[in-house]
Amino acid sequence: MKPLLDVEVTMKKNKFPHPYTVKESGRAKRVSLRIRPHHGLEVVVPRGFDLSRIPALLETRREWADEHLGRLAKEGAHLPDRTLPERVVLPAVREEWTFTHSHCPGDEYRIRCDGDYNMRIEGPDDSYEMIAPLYAHWLKQNAKINFAWWLYNVRETYSLPQYNRIQVRIQKTRWGSCSSKGNINLNAKLLFLKPELVEYLFVHELCHLLNLNHSNAYWAEVAKRLPDYREREAGLRDAWREIPGWAEGLS
């Protein structure tokens, strides 16, 4: 039996006036800000960076953000969907969650499990920049729990090699990857896909433990486990359209 999801995270309110998302990058050497049409303001930080420092850093760039975001607004540029849902369906694991928002005094935002498949978010207001990271944390924690036992079962079912460890992130362009050290990286957004596509992605990455390439020998190993892999591969390429708009802006 898989373990139950138990999430509780607290964040403090900041006074920066613009919504933003935070992206951790293994290649980043310092904090940088960028504004992207359809995504808005994005803060890129090195992996392991102390996120509590971000509000103070943003204050030093407030004039820059005001100017550039104001210009985008005048040009009519599309910014990301800032509406967070009260109901989230995760087809991959056949779960349906509800999110209840309640206002409380103070400057802290908190998300916690409040009964079966219900998350309660408490905070002084409905600030997107404070609540969106709580949704992102919940999505990653859910994926970590579900993917841990699922990937193990797939490996056992299809007699594939033992991997080293699993890492779950929220990514915009990759469903997953396998490193030369045997680490499997998975995108939490796989939760929005059909189970057969997630199973294929797991087999795809685990087969890289046999061949760390896309040679004929590699695809032969995939075909041995999933004879219909071509159809699943095509479905996976088109599956980005299954990601809800609100989840596209998460990081």
CA distance 68 to 94: 42
45-67 pLDDT, tens digit each: 888 888 888 888 888 988 898 88
Number of other CB atoms surrounding residue 10 within 10 Å:
12
Sheet holding 20-25, edge to edge: 20-25, 40-46, 32-36
pTM of the shown model: 0.75
At residue 232, what are phi and psi to the nearest 5 degrees? Answer: -70, -35
CA distance 79 to 246: 12
- Pick from 137, 152, 236, 145: nearest CA to 192: 236
Domains and CATH numbers, the chain: 20-79 (no CATH), 142-242 (3.30.2010.10)
Tens digit of each residue's pLDDT, the chain (251 residues): 454 566 555 555 566 777 777 877 888 889 999 876 656 788 888 888 888 888 888 889 888 988 888 877 676 555 556 789 999 999 999 999 999 999 988 888 889 998 789 999 999 988 887 888 899 999 999 999 999 999 999 999 999 999 999 999 999 889 999 999 999 999 999 999 999 999 999 999 999 999 999 999 999 999 999 999 999 999 999 999 999 988 987 87
